[in-house]
Amino acid sequence: MDESTIEWTAWRAAARRPVIDRAIAGLYADLDGAVRERGPVCWASGRCCNFNAYGHLLYVTALEIAWVLEKVGEMPAMSDWATRLDARGTCPFQVNSLCSAHTIRPLGCRIYFCQHGTEAWQHELYENFQSRLRSLHDEHAIPYRYMEWRAGLAEAIAPT
């Protein structure tokens, strides 16, 4: 078994632990509240999910990917997401310009808004919550790795 396979096994096992599930869900709920306080508006244009066309990348932790995949496994309607994982540049969870994984989306998706004027608070809020996510790894001795979303998803589902 190679190192990557061992890591994904650890991340998936961690994501299934109730204490980790609650911690991630709680962290995301806190983040959602902090974002709401700032009052950004999402126009559901789907531009933020079309990474290549919009000129940005989404970075996440491997634990976030494992957690999202655990949640997707509980949602049969989302079982075809992997067929959309390719080099087109869009998130595989984007369907008809909408996020099919909105309730389980990772930290970066929750904080990013293309609305002008939101940039000022996004970086500070991201750093705060990313630090909390890193602490979760440290507290529970979970390996930490930060990676690009689509590449991480592809690695997570790659045959071993």
Per-residue pLDDT of the chain (160 residues; tens, 9 = 90+): 577 788 999 999 999 999 999 999 999 999 999 998 988 777 767 777 777 777 778 899 999 999 999 999 888 777 788 888 875 678 898 888 888 888 999 999 898 877 777 778 888 999 999 999 999 999 999 999 999 999 999 999 887 6
| Cα 126 from Cα 108, distance rounded (Å) | 7
Res 53: pLDDT: 74
pTM of the model: 0.90
Tell me, rounded to whole angstroms, the distance of Cα 40 from its chain centroid: 19
| Cα 131 from Cα 118, distance rounded (Å) | 20
Res 63: pLDDT: 97
CA distances from 64 to 11, 23, 57, 97 (A): 9, 11, 16, 22
Nearby residues of 74 by Cβ (< 8 Å), 6 or more positions away? none
